[in-house]
Amino acid sequence: MSVTTAAAGDRQGMNTFRRLFARLEIDERLLGMVASLIVIWVGFHILSDGKFITPRNLYNLSTQTASVAAMTIGMVFVIVIRQIDLSVGSLLGVTAMIMGVIQARWLPQLVGLSHPSIWIVAVISGILIGAFLGAINGLIIGYLGVPSFVVTLGGLLIWRGCAWWVTTGQTVAPLDDTFVLLGGGAYGTLGDTGSWIVAGLAVVAIAFAAIHRRRRKVRFGFPVRPVWAEVIVVGGQCALVIAFAATMIAYEMPSGAVKHLAELKGWTIPEGGLSIAEGIAYPVLIVIVLAVGGTLVLNRTRFGRYVFAMGGNPEAANLAGIDIRRMTLWVFVLMGALCGIAASIASARLQSAGNSIGTLDELKVIAGAVIGGCSLSGGVGTIAGAILGAIVIQSLQSGMSLLGFDASLQNIVTGLVLVVAVFVDQLYQRRRRL
């Protein structure tokens, strides 16, 4: 009798939590990922004797995640339409190598070293090259009907080979000084003032979006959250933004970088030393802009509606007049363009372009998207969840590196996490069908 009473109490407690989540309109899977991320961070912080949850490590984690997160945004579109792209890491590699050659060997001969146009031409070239290579994948998949698994698996090998042939395996360095800022580093940041401005704008945007969304629901007669629930959700989002900005600002520029900057600016360093806050890194800002743009495209445009329609039921979407082949082409063009942006971030962070850049990034990107809630059966996925998934993957690798684990073990853990994520997704899909 007591066991039955305890079980009933547990079920009642679970139902209470579910009702609370329903009132708050919080996705249980997203909340589960946040909880998992907290457990991972706390666990590594304890095991590393307090070295993981520090401004320095979190700053490095944010810049390391940026290139993978940029590609994960594109992978959401790809997986939602029931496709896959195994070539993103190799595509990043060949694009980075070409951009490196453009800015280190070709353009300096035409416009001179450190010309202000070099980084602009390099980035635009990388995006266009990535989009072109993505279009090749999209044409073969969409118009020739070859399965995306086969096409992109072949692309993984082809583009990696092309990356080697660009310079016959030689690493391209040094890259343009302004281009290198796109990777973060000591000087590629907004600083304290810029970071607070960005955080303030983000808080205003979150509040405005919540008010606008609530008014639209009321206008069309849709149910809305209680005011207390709205305040909790919006307040929590704003608190996360402020906490992130404060953490990035808490990380101070290394003394060597401060000394070098003082020499360039002609500053006099006081006896107690000069303290300069790093703030939000440029690559993180780029990913934030891409995430906002991707979310708007996915949820607020006809293109996004077509993407979900294709993933939900391709046959019905085709009968409804959606050009499946053309949509597939444009989704892979988008994926390629984002690989070009990711190549800019990755090569700028490393300050060089080597033949191995982007190796196994396809594993991180797919794992991040799946962990973030993208279903391999299509029709389901969010940009925010995918980026959170990318942070989970990078946190695991960063934590294991901090503890001294080698790369092979990191790959094993990442692979296991991917398998578990797919298994959990299958359980979730079965639960939804019941």
Co-location of 167 and 180 in the same domain? yes
For residue 248, the model assigns a pLDDT of 96
Q: What is the distance between the alpha carbons of residues 349 and 123, in angstroms, rounded to a whole number?
A: 14
For residue 377, the model assigns a pLDDT of 85
Q: What is the distance between the alpha carbons of residues 285 and 289, in angstroms, rounded to a whole number?
A: 6
In a domain, 300, yes or no: no
In a domain, 13, yes or no: no
Co-location of 181 and 55 in the same domain? yes
Co-location of 274 and 331 in the same domain? no
3-class DSSP state for residue 189?
strand
Mean pLDDT of the chain: 89
In the chain the first and final C-alpha atoms are separated, in Å, by 30
Q: What is the distance between the alpha carbons of residues 141 and 147, in angstroms, rounded to a whole number?
A: 6
DSSP code for 85: -
The tens digit of pLDDT for each residue in 257-281 reads 888 888 877 777 787 778 889 999 9
DSSP code for 269: P
> Is residue 137 within 8 Å of residue 151, measured between CB atoms?
yes
Co-location of 138 and 239 in the same domain? no
The tens digit of pLDDT for each residue in 285-328 reads 999 999 999 999 999 999 999 999 999 899 999 999 999 999 99
In a domain, 169, yes or no: yes
pLDDT over 90 percentage in the chain:
65
Task: Decide if pLDDT at 340 tops 90.
Answer: yes
Mean pLDDT confidence for 240-244: 96
In a domain, 379, yes or no: yes
The tens digit of pLDDT for each residue in 69-118 reads 999 999 999 999 999 999 999 999 999 999 999 999 999 988 988 899 99
Task: Decide if pLDDT at 236 tops 60.
Answer: yes
In a domain, 292, yes or no: no
In a domain, 3, yes or no: no
For residue 32, the model assigns a pLDDT of 78
Q: What is the distance between the alpha carbons of residues 17 and 13, in angstroms, rounded to a whole number?
A: 6
Co-location of 139 and 228 in the same domain? no
Range with lowest mean pLDDT among 169-183, 218-232, 334-348: 218-232
For residue 409, the model assigns a pLDDT of 84
Task: Decide if pLDDT at 358 tops 80.
Answer: yes
The tens digit of pLDDT for each residue in 374-430 reads 988 888 899 999 999 999 999 999 999 999 888 888 888 888 887 887 787 777 767
- For 7-46, letters b (16+ CB in 10 Å) and e give eeeeeeeeeeeeeeeeebebeebeeebeebbeebbeebbe
Name the pLDDT band for 1 (thresholds 50, 70, 90). very low
Co-location of 201 and 175 in the same domain? no
Co-location of 249 and 391 in the same domain? no
Task: Decide if pLDDT at 3 tops 80.
Answer: no
Task: Decide if pLDDT at 120 tops 90.
Answer: yes
Task: Decide if pLDDT at 5 tops 80.
Answer: no
Last residue within a domain, chosen from 264, 280, 296? 280
Task: Decide if pLDDT at 23 tops 70.
Answer: no
Co-location of 150 and 64 in the same domain? yes
In the chain, how many H helices and how many E strands? 18, 0
Task: Decide if pLDDT at 130 tops 70.
Answer: yes
For residue 22, the model assigns a pLDDT of 61
Co-location of 176 and 223 in the same domain? no
pLDDT over 70 percentage in the chain:
92
Range with lowest mean pLDDT among 337-346, 370-379, 422-431: 422-431
For residue 413, the model assigns a pLDDT of 84
Residue 280: how many other CB atoms lie within 10 Å: 25
Range with lowest mean pLDDT among 21-30, 135-144, 203-212: 21-30
The tens digit of pLDDT for each residue in 169-201 reads 899 999 999 999 999 988 999 999 999 999 999
Side-chain-side CA neighbours of 153 within 13 Å: the count stands at 6
In a domain, 136, yes or no: yes
CA nearest neighbour of 76 among 432, 370, 423, 301: 370
For residue 19, the model assigns a pLDDT of 66
> Is residue 152 within 8 Å of residue 87, measured between CB atoms?
yes
CA 218 vs CA 26, 27, 173, 227, 301: distances in Å: 19, 22, 57, 13, 21
The encoded tokens of residue 276 equal 């300069």
Q: What is the distance between the alpha carbons of residues 133 and 324, in angstroms, rounded to a whole number?
A: 20
Last residue within a domain, chosen from 280, 301, 328? 280
The residue ranking higher by pLDDT, 33 or 133, is 133
Co-location of 227 and 367 in the same domain? no
Looking at the DSSP bridge assignments, the partners of residue 277 are 252
Residue 374: how many other CB atoms lie within 10 Å: 29
In a domain, 176, yes or no: yes
Co-location of 205 and 169 in the same domain? no
Q: Count up the domains in the chain and report the number.
A: 2
CA nearest neighbour of 133 among 331, 357, 330, 337: 337
Co-location of 267 and 178 in the same domain? no
For residue 364, the model assigns a pLDDT of 92
3-class DSSP state for residue 172?
strand
What DSSP letter does each residue of 101-137 carry, written as one string? HIIIIIHHHHH-TT-TTHHHHHHHHHHHHHHHHHHHH
The encoded tokens of residue 249 equal 């600002």
Mean pLDDT confidence for 227-249: 92
Q: What is the distance between the alpha carbons of residues 161 and 98, in angstroms, rounded to a whole number?
A: 13
For residue 433, the model assigns a pLDDT of 62
For residue 275, the model assigns a pLDDT of 84
Q: What is the distance between the alpha carbons of residues 71 and 287, in angstroms, rounded to a whole number?
A: 10
DSSP code for 278: -
The encoded tokens of residue 4 equal 């039955």
For the domain that residue 51 is a member of, what is the CATH number? Answer: 1.10.3470
> Is residue 162 within 8 Å of residue 94, measured between CB atoms?
yes
- The residue segments making up the domain with residue 71 are 27-188+314-433
